[in-house]
Amino acid sequence: MLTDKIAVVTGGSRGIGREIALTLAAKGATVIVNYNGSAAKAEEVVGEIQAAGGKGEAVQCNVSDYEKAAGLMEYVVEKYGRVDILVNNAGITRDSLLMKMSEEDFDAVIATNLKGAFNCTRHVARQMIKQRAGRIISISSVSGVLGNAGQANYSASKAGLIGLTKSVAREMASRGITVNAVAPGFIDTEMTQVLSDKVKEAAKEQIPMKRFGATKDIANTVAFLASDEAGYITGQVISVDGGMAM
Give the burial class of 88: count Cβ atoms within 10 A of its Cβ; 0-12 exposed, 13-18 middle, 19 or more buried. buried
DSSP state of 213: B
Q: Output the smallest distance, CB 3 to ligand NAP, in A.
A: 26
Nearest approach in angstroms of CB 39 to ligand NAP is: 7
The candidate with the shortest Cα–Cα distance to 182, out of 229, 207, 217, 148, is: 217
Q: Name the site residues for ligand NAP (rule: CB under 6 A).
A: 10-11, 13-17, 34-38, 62-64, 89-92, 112-113, 116, 139, 141, 184, 186-187, 189-192
CA distance 142 to 64: 22
Query: What is the closest distance, in whole angstroms, from the C-beta atom of residue 87 to ligand NAP in the complex?
Result: 10
Residue with Cβ nearer ligand NAP (5 or 212): 212
Based on its alpha-carbon atoms, the radius of gyration of the chain, rounded to whole angstroms, reads 17
Residue 234: count of CB within 10 angstroms of its CB:
20
From the candidates 35, 75, 80, 154, give the one annotated as an active-site residue. Answer: 154
Q: How far is CA 123 from the centre of its chain?
A: 16
| For ligand NAP, the closer CB: 191 or 233 | 191
Minimum Å gap between C-beta 31 and ligand NAP is 13
CB of residue 63 to ligand NAP, shortest distance in Å: 4
Ranges of H-type helices in the chain: 15-26, 39-51, 66-80, 103-109, 116-131, 142-146, 152-172, 190-193, 197-206, 215-226
Closest CA to 22 of 46, 40, 4, 3: 46
Q: Is 154 a catalytic residue?
A: yes
Nearer to ligand NAP, 168 or 244 (CB): 244
Q: 110 or 129, CB closer to ligand NAP?
A: 110
Active site residues: 154
